[in-house]
């Protein structure tokens, strides 16, 4: 039991570090490839990587009756949110993107309450309000030093976790019977198909060098393909509730990598807002006050 706990904690830390680094690689790749080409390469190469893993594990795609689900899940959990983050990464730094990403389980609780009729407890509603308040605090302070056009970047960044939330409820309602690995594998292929037209239409912005291609490979293989494998292994071993705690760690690593490798500043308002968002996440998802509510 102790060994399992220790292994799970290490895997959670590794997954948070990997997903936190995805915003760093976005900031590196977007100025060169543009959002559309970068995201197509991310999901297409991740699909190829997962195909290799599927062959090794001898796991099929379970296509029969599930193609439409793969398209919905692929667009909502990868193609569209990745594009939105790519667009936002043109203006916002990695730290901001990582903090906004912490809204995913808050939006998840809200969408599940509306769509799946899962009731919100009083503390969960307080958590939703805190989460939105924390993001507004960060955004408001940051926009004070920016032009009004950056509202679009923030709206795009907030749209990404909202897409994740819809994808989660859709999967729970319509695709729960599909094996998790098949979901990840199939959705990467459909996300690649969905983003291909934009990638062909919009040109790259600069000639990529070796470092730019390394960022693409890191996004695809490390932050998407391999991260999915860790994520689904954790779901199977410790369950969704404990796996969800990775959400608390992603902003920590996102801010850390942005500061170390891109020289991004860390402000008191950013830290305070991040803590409020994470507190709201914990309340909205029953990780705090479950017994007392």
More confident: 187 or 266: 187
Residue 241 has pLDDT above 70, yes or no: no
Average pLDDT of 91-105?
89
The pTM assigned to this predicted structure is 0.90
Query: How many angstroms separate the most distant Cα atoms in the chain?
Result: 58
Residue of 165, 138, 119 lying closest to 278 (CA atoms): 138
Average pLDDT of 208-212?
93
Q: How confident is the model at residue 293 (pLDDT cuts 50, 70, 90)?
A: very low
Residue of 64, 89, 39, 61 lying closest to 194 (CA atoms): 39
- Tens of pLDDT, residue by residue over 154-202, are 899 999 999 999 998 998 899 888 888 898 999 999 999 999 999 999 9
3-state secondary structure the chain: CHHHHHHHHHHHHHHHHHHHHHHHHHHHHHHHHHHHHHHHHHHHHHHHHHHHHHHHHCCCCCCCCCHHHHHHHHHHHHHHHHHHHHHHCCCCCHHHHHHHHCCHHHHHHHHHHHHCCCCCCHHHHHHHHHHHHHHHHHHHHHHCCCCCCHHHHHHHHHHHHHHHHHHHHHHHHHCCCCCHHHHHHHHHHHHHHHHHHHHHHCCCCCCCCHHHHHHHHHHHHHHHHHHHHHHHHHHHHHHHHHHCCHHHHHHHHHHHHHHHHHCCCCCHHHHHHHHHHHHHHHHHCCCCCCCCC
- Tens of pLDDT, residue by residue over 118-147, are 888 888 888 888 888 888 888 777 776 666
pLDDT at residue number 292: 43
Q: How confident is the model at residue 240 (pLDDT cuts 50, 70, 90)?
A: low
């Amino acid at each position: 039991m102790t060994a399992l706990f220790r292994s799970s904690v290490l895997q959670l830390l590794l997954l948070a570090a990997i997903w936190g680094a995805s915003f760093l690689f976005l900031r590196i790749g977007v100025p060169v490839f543009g959002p559309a080409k970068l995201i197509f390469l991310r999901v297409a190469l991740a699909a190829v990587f997962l195909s290799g893993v599927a062959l090794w594990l001898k796991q099929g795609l379970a296509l029969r009756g599930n193609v439409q689900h793969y398209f919905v899940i692929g667009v909502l959990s990868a193609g569209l949110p990745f594009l939105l983050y790519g667009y936002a990464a043109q203006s916002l730094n990695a730290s901001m993107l990582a903090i906004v990403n912490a809204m995913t389980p808050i939006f998840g609780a809200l969408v599940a309450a509306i769509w799946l009729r899962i009731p919100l407890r009083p503390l969960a509603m307080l958590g939703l309000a805190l989460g939105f308040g924390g993001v507004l605090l960060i955004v408001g302070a940051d926009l004070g030093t920016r032009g009004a056009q950056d509202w679009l970047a923030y709206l795009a960044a907030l749209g990404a976790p909202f897409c994740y939330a819809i994808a989660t409820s859709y999967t729970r309602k319509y695709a729960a019977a599909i094996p998790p690995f098949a979901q990840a594998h199939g959705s990467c292929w459909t996300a690649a198909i969905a983003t291909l037209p934009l990638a062909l239409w919009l040109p790259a912005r600069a000639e990529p060098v070796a470092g730019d291609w390394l960022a693409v490979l890191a996004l695809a293989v490390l932050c998407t393909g391999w991260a999915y494998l860790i994520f689904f292994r954790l779901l199977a071993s410790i369950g969704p509730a404990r796996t969800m705690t990775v959400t608390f760690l992603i902003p920590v690593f996102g801010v850390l990598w942005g500061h170390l490798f891109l020289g991004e500043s860390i402000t008191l308002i950013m830290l305070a807002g991040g803590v409020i968002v994470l507190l709201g996440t914990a309340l909205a998802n029953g990780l705090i006050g479950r017994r007392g509510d």
